[in-house]
Amino acid sequence: MINLLLVPIIIPLFTALLLIFIPKKVVLQRAISIISAIATTIAALILVGTVRQDGIQVVDLGGWPAPFGITLVSDMLSALLVTTASIITLTVILFSFRSIGEEREKYYYYSMVQFLLVGVNGAFTTGDIFNMFVFFEVMLMSSYVLLVIGGTKIQLRETIKYILVNVISSALFVITVAYLYSVVGTLNMAHISVRISEIQQPGILTVIAIMFLIVFGLKGAIFPLYFWLPGSYYAPPPAIMALFGALLTKVGVYSILRTYTLFFYHDIGYTHQILGVLSILTIIVGIIGAIAYQDIKKMIIFNIIIAIGVITYGISMMSTEALTGSVFYLIHDMLIKAALFFLVGIIMAITGTADLRKFSGLINHYPFLGWTFFISTLTLAGIPPFSGFVGKLLIAKGGFAAGDFIGALIVLLSSLFVLYSLMKVFLNGFWGETKGTINQKAPVSYLLVPTVLLVAITVIYGFGAEWINIFISQAADVLTDPSIYIDAVLKE
């Protein structure tokens, strides 16, 4: 019998392999993809319920007990992120049916989407630091294909840059893991934590912590390592942008969250202080980009950078309140960023452009689209009682409690700039006299289905925060008390 926590990895893996053999049968590919995505989402939801009821789920592959074999671990944080990633992938597949184009669909598009989900879910689930690298590579290799698929000039240019950055990052990842292994003699994440506790994090481990921050900072795009992101995420079609913006950077952020709470929590004065400073700088850079551009895609991309800074700032505080806020905000941002990229895709399908100066008055033709965008803007900005408010408030409270008033204020003030950047789109793009080309044949009604589904989930996530907090608190408990994770994995 296959253990439940393997199912959200195995289903997309076998689906991806199957789809490779039927590249030209687009309708069949679509049907298999959507059935697979629904099955993965259901399995992930069942996994959340199982972890809630029975605690952390652990599988030792090949029968080798931890720390000697390969271990997969699903605590509440992992289960929630796997569920969120599966839901987003389901909506991306739905959105792709009428937006990605048949030419791309015939070149292994759906197979690569499934492989990317294998990498993402695997990275969230692995209990072994080297296998985190392996799942990173699965995710990255499929992202290379998705980024270049279609072969436009901008895609080819940005793919070369994206591959170079990630090859360097991956090499550094392996070197850092090797250094860590040379010090602690194990790759099992729970066992690494035990070994570091025994030697009380000497100076060499602080250096390794900073090396991990560089590796995951490149993946997650924190300051000053975000330079590759605006161009790379701008190049592909909106469905792929949604997949990348919602999932790829968040795997890097998750990796920082996991390692900095499980490994490097004994001496946080240096490592976490650096993370805090970089997080604030990340927020500031994101704000400047979000308000400077008139291109809607660029605005959303720089809003990704703001969110990354907010989440990592909460990690740097290392308090229960701030970590709870980071987990809550991480899930919120994954959902709402995907929805916003869908909305940008719909606007581009109607107007043929993402340049805000070239169109206006869309609400006269598409009022439902306009008000969906408005709700999404309020959600992203964290206007109460929407989902962005709860996480950001907890993170800011953690900052104030730690005495970092400037950092906490910047986190709170970032909401105003996020609101300003996207309200500019709502007021200038949707209101006023109709300007620019309006494509009446754009499949707006269909494309709104997955978009509204995601927006509805984020609204429920915000309004049901008190009920959802039961799950979020369980995820945060493991982060604040690593012994819960260690005992479950090593069965002590």
Cα gap 355→436, rounded to integer Å: 11
- Continuous segment of H or E residues that includes residue 401: helix 387-401
- The burial of 400, by beta-carbon neighbours within 10 Å (0-12 exposed, 13-18 middle, 19 or more buried), is given as middle
Is 392 within 8 Å of 329 (Cβ atoms)?
A: yes
Reading the block at residue 369, the tokens are 């689209």
What's the pTM?
0.94
How much is the pLDDT for 1? 43
Cα gap 93→450, rounded to integer Å: 9
Neighbours of 328 (CB within 10 A): 32
Identify any residues that bridge with 128 across adjacent strands, giving them in sequence order. 188
How much is the pLDDT for 172? 94
Reading the block at residue 330, the tokens are 């991480």
> DSSP assignment, residue 435?
B
- Continuous segment of H or E residues that includes residue 274: helix 268-292
Cα gap 46→52, rounded to integer Å: 10
Q: Count the helices and strands in the chain (H runs, E runs).
A: 21, 2
- Give per-residue pLDDT as tens, 241-275: 999 999 998 999 999 999 999 988 877 778 888 99
Q: Residue holding tokens 């049907």?
A: 31
How much is the pLDDT for 2? 62
Identify any residues that bridge with 58 across adjacent strands, giving them in sequence order. 73
Is 204 within 8 Å of 183 (Cβ atoms)?
A: yes
Per-residue CA distances from 314 to 73, 138, 325, 397, 399 (Å)? 24, 28, 7, 10, 8
Cα gap 209→203, rounded to integer Å: 10
What radius of gyration, in Å, describes the C-alpha atoms of the chain?
Answer: 21
Per-residue CA distances from 448 to 33, 236, 365 (Å)? 19, 20, 14
HSE (side-chain half, CA atoms, 13 Å) at 229: 32
Q: Are strands 71-74 and 57-60 parallel, antiparallel or unpaired?
A: antiparallel
How much is the pLDDT for 492? 57
Is 86 within 8 Å of 5 (Cβ atoms)?
A: no
Reading the block at residue 7, the tokens are 């199912």
Q: Residue holding tokens 């924190």?
A: 222
H helices of 318-359, in order, are: 320-351
Cα gap 112→96, rounded to integer Å: 13
How many residues are listed for the chain in this entry?
Answer: 492
How much is the pLDDT for 491? 76
Neighbours of 250 (CB within 10 A): 29
Per-residue pLDDT of the chain (492 residues; tens, 9 = 90+): 468 889 999 999 999 999 999 988 999 999 999 999 999 999 999 999 999 998 889 888 877 777 778 889 999 999 999 999 999 999 999 999 988 888 888 889 999 999 999 999 999 999 899 999 999 999 999 999 999 988 788 888 888 988 999 999 999 999 999 999 999 888 999 999 999 888 877 788 889 999 999 999 988 889 888 888 888 888 889 999 999 999 998 999 999 999 999 988 877 778 888 999 999 999 999 999 999 998 899 999 999 999 999 999 999 998 899 999 999 999 999 999 999 999 999 999 998 888 888 888 888 888 999 999 999 999 998 888 888 888 899 999 999 998 889 999 999 999 999 999 999 988 888 887 878 778 778 888 899 999 999 999 999 998 888 889 899 999 999 999 989 999 988 875
What are φ and ψ of residue 481, in 5° steps? -130, 85
Is 232 within 8 Å of 245 (Cβ atoms)?
A: no
How much is the pLDDT for 438? 81
How much is the pLDDT for 264? 85
